[in-house]
Amino acid sequence: MPHLNCLVSLMANPQTEDGYTKIANSILDALVLSKLSGQDFKISLLIIRKTYGFSKKEDSVSLSQMMQATGMGKIRCSQVVTRLQLMKILTVTENINGVGKKYKFNKDFEEWDTVNKNINRYQKVKQTVNKKRNPPLMKTLTTKETLTKEKIQKKGKQSKTTLPDGFSISDGVRKWASEKGIVRLEEHFESFIIACEAKGYEYANWDAALKNAIRKNWAEIGGRNGQGIRTSRSDPRDKNLQSREDAEIAAITARREAAKEAARNKAAGATGNDDAPDFEGNGL
């Protein structure tokens, strides 16, 4: 069977008599256990072959030789050598003339940055157990809790706004004025609106601001305590009431017209006046 003889002749038949590389088993074990990529492994074995294979500790190996031996590109070979240097597997020294480099394989695998230190490699290594403690749990708010918290924060502090469109005397303010015995409520309201439009006041609670403006008598309406409070027009202490009211109405009208004129002259889009009287407190 001549074809079988041909196959036998083509089979590789390596023998130590033809040459071998003398290397400690512990180094091979360390390489097997290391976290090297295939390209890293190729270059490492090539340097071992070029040094230990010729009974040398270091030797010059060109990038062209690396390309031919590994099948990788020249740039890639240079990158792999640099990475092996960083992992402390190879030591690279340049010649004095700066031409060519010498490579040395670092047999002290304990210095490598790729080997698991806890693996027993032909020596007694103290086995340690890393206790992983669970990090403290952080409370995660549910959607309902988050919304509730946001509502509480919003209720705690309301933002101030300019005079709302269509603001009018609410039923609550009318009831409060009736209980306080305040008359001429419309005039108080009109005076309040004129002042706010003219000066650009901002409030968070406009009903509360209106009540306090009435209490402070912005309209300067006469009557008991200067607040336009009276029991009836026939109050004997309030003589010539009609004439005084007419004069007050005329004065209010004049002030309103003046305020409107000032508002028209004011630049459009002006921001709110931070000096607005703080009439949103309690005690109404």
**Contacts of residue 210, Cβ cutoff 8 Å, sequence gap at least 6:** 169, 173, 188, 189, 192
The pLDDT value given to residue 266: 73
Q: For residue 123, what pLDDT band results from cuts at 50, 70 and 90?
A: very low
Whole-angstrom distance, CA of residue 252 vs CA of residue 258? 10
* Mean pLDDT for the stretch of residues 157-180: 87
Helix axis angle, 38-51 to 63-70, nearest 10°: 120
Among 18-27, 39-48, 223-232, name the most confident range.
39-48
Residue-wise pLDDT for 236-263, tens only, equals 445 555 566 567 667 777 777 777 777 7
Q: Are 80 and 40 in contact (CB under 8 A)?
A: yes
> What integer best gives the mean pLDDT of the chain?
75
Whole-angstrom distance, CA of residue 199 vs CA of residue 72? 81
- The alpha carbon of 81 is separated from its chain's Cα centroid by a whole number of angstroms, namely 40
Among residues of the chain, what percentage have pLDDT more than 90? 12
What SS3 string covers the chain? CHHHHHHHHHCCCCCHHHCCCCCCHHHHHHHHHCCCCHHHHHHHHHHHHHHHHHCCCEEECCHHHHHHHHCCCHHHHHHHHHHHHHCCCEEEEECCCCCCEEEEECCCHHHCCCCCCCCCCCCCCCCCCCCCCCCCCCCCCCHHHHHHHHHHHHHHCCCCECCCCCCCCCHHHHHHHHHHCECCHHHHHHHHHHHHHHHCECECCHHHHHHHHHHCCCCCCCCECCCCECCCCCCCCCCCHHHHHHHHHHHHHHHHHHHHHHHHHCCCCCCCECCCCCCCCCCC
Q: For residue 233, what pLDDT band results from cuts at 50, 70 and 90?
A: very low
The pLDDT value given to residue 155: 59
Whose CA is closest to 102, among 88, 90, 87, 112? 90
CATH of domain 22-111: 1.10.10.10
Residue 43 has pLDDT above 90, yes or no: yes
- Edge to edge, what strands does the sheet with 101-105 contain? 58-60, 101-105, 90-94
Q: In this predicted structure, which of 47-56, 67-76, 264-273 has the lowest mean pLDDT?
A: 264-273
Q: For residue 275, what pLDDT band results from cuts at 50, 70 and 90?
A: low
Whole-angstrom distance, CA of residue 215 vs CA of residue 282? 12
Among 9-13, 186-190, 268-272, name the most confident range.
186-190
Among residues of the chain, what percentage have pLDDT more than 70? 63
The pLDDT value given to residue 15: 83
Give the residue extent of every domain in the chain: 22-111, 171-265
Q: In this predicted structure, which of 48-57, 91-100, 158-167, 183-192 has the lowest mean pLDDT?
A: 91-100
Residue 41 has pLDDT above 60, yes or no: yes
Residue 137 has pLDDT above 70, yes or no: no
Q: Which residues pair with 240 in a beta bridge?
A: none
Residue-wise pLDDT for 177-232, tens only, equals 889 888 888 888 888 888 888 888 899 898 999 999 888 888 887 654 444 544 44
The pLDDT value given to residue 143: 58
